[in-house]
Amino acid sequence: MSLHLERERFLPSGLDTKLVADPGNGFWGSIYTALWERFGDPYWWPGRDAWEVAAGEVLTQNTAWTNVEQALVGLRERGWITADAIRLTDQDELAPVIRPAGYFNQKARKLKELAEWWGNRVESGAVESLGDDELRDELLALWGVGPETADAIACYALGRPLFVVDTYTQRMLARLRGLEERPSYDSIQSEVDEELPRDPMLLNHLHGLIVVLSKEHCTARNPQCGDCPLQARCVVGSQV
């Protein structure tokens, strides 16, 4: 039943895991370096091609990846793992297949909305003439695509240098700085954009590394600070 998607990684054309810009020695650069030295290549993001990556991002909204894998198995079994197939499949037919991913009625509609856009903009090649901000705005205009999903599709499926902020990133940063409230999506993204090079592979790695950190150390409950690679630079970790 397992797909072992975690070791299958699609990379947009032009990207190479070994060619990554220098992250520098600033706050985010040192975070990146510390995480890379501990965990290495996070193999981010799982998927076989650009559409599968994009679909996976919708399916994983507020959902554990293990549940998304089951939904992808169902889609593959039916040959519905392409944007074209999603366009040809009724929402009512699609929903039960992706049930394991949760929120299946909403996500069925979201996949169809995204598949329409995909045909008009990606398959047509028109997306290549869009700037990063224009692309992000188009994605945000789709029903079911918010900031995280828009940035994830832009970066992991389409190779744009947009940093993806998620719950893990907000929780990690709040703990690093000892903040009561989690920093906003936009504030974190702006900070990273100003400090790190606009390199899609670097931003790809950084988010993947934060996820690994958050699953192994910076968990919601009972964080494992003892051997956390960021403990020395973390307000919460330093108090443990």
- Least distance (Å) between residue 7 CB and DNA: 12
* Cα(19)–Cα(62) distance, integer angstroms: 31
Q: Which of 69, 67, 60, 62 is nearest to 5 (CA)?
A: 69
What are the Cα distances from residue 13, in Å, to 47, 81, 131, 232, 236?
A: 14, 20, 17, 38, 40
Q: Which of 161, 218, 230 is nearest to 21 (CA)?
A: 161
Q: Which of 9, 23, 32, 45 binds DNA (CB under 7 A)?
A: 45
Q: Which of 27, 104, 159, 198 binds DNA (CB under 7 A)?
A: 104
Interface with DNA: number of residues (CB under 7 A): 37
Helices (H), 91-228: 91-97, 104-117, 132-140, 147-152, 167-177, 185-195, 200-216
Asked if 99 is part of the footprint of DNA (rule: CB under 7 A), the reply reads yes
Site for DNA in 149-208 (CB under 7 A): 149-150, 152, 166-168, 171
Site string for DNA, 107-146 (x = CB under 7 A): -----------------------------------xxxxx
- Least distance (Å) between residue 211 CB and DNA: 5
- Least distance (Å) between residue 171 CB and DNA: 7
Asked if 91 is part of the footprint of DNA (rule: CB under 7 A), the reply reads no
Asked if 234 is part of the footprint of DNA (rule: CB under 7 A), the reply reads no
- Least distance (Å) between residue 84 CB and DNA: 23
Binding segment for DNA (CB under 7 A), chosen from 15-23, 30-38, 116-124, 217-225, is 217-225
Scanning the structure block, which residue is given the tokens 């593959």?
76
* Cα(55)–Cα(69) distance, integer angstroms: 11
Q: Which of 46, 74, 223, 229 binds DNA (CB under 7 A)?
A: 46
Of residues 64 and 235, the one with the C-beta less far from DNA: 64
- Least distance (Å) between residue 70 CB and DNA: 9
**Does an H or E element contain 69, and which?**
helix 65-77
Both structure tokens of 21: 């810009």
Q: Which of 44, 83, 70 is nearest to 166 (CA)?
A: 44
* Cα(146)–Cα(140) distance, integer angstroms: 6
Could you list the residues that contact DNA (CB under 7 A)?
A: 44-46, 60-65, 67, 99-100, 102-106, 142-150, 152, 166-168, 171, 211, 215, 219-222
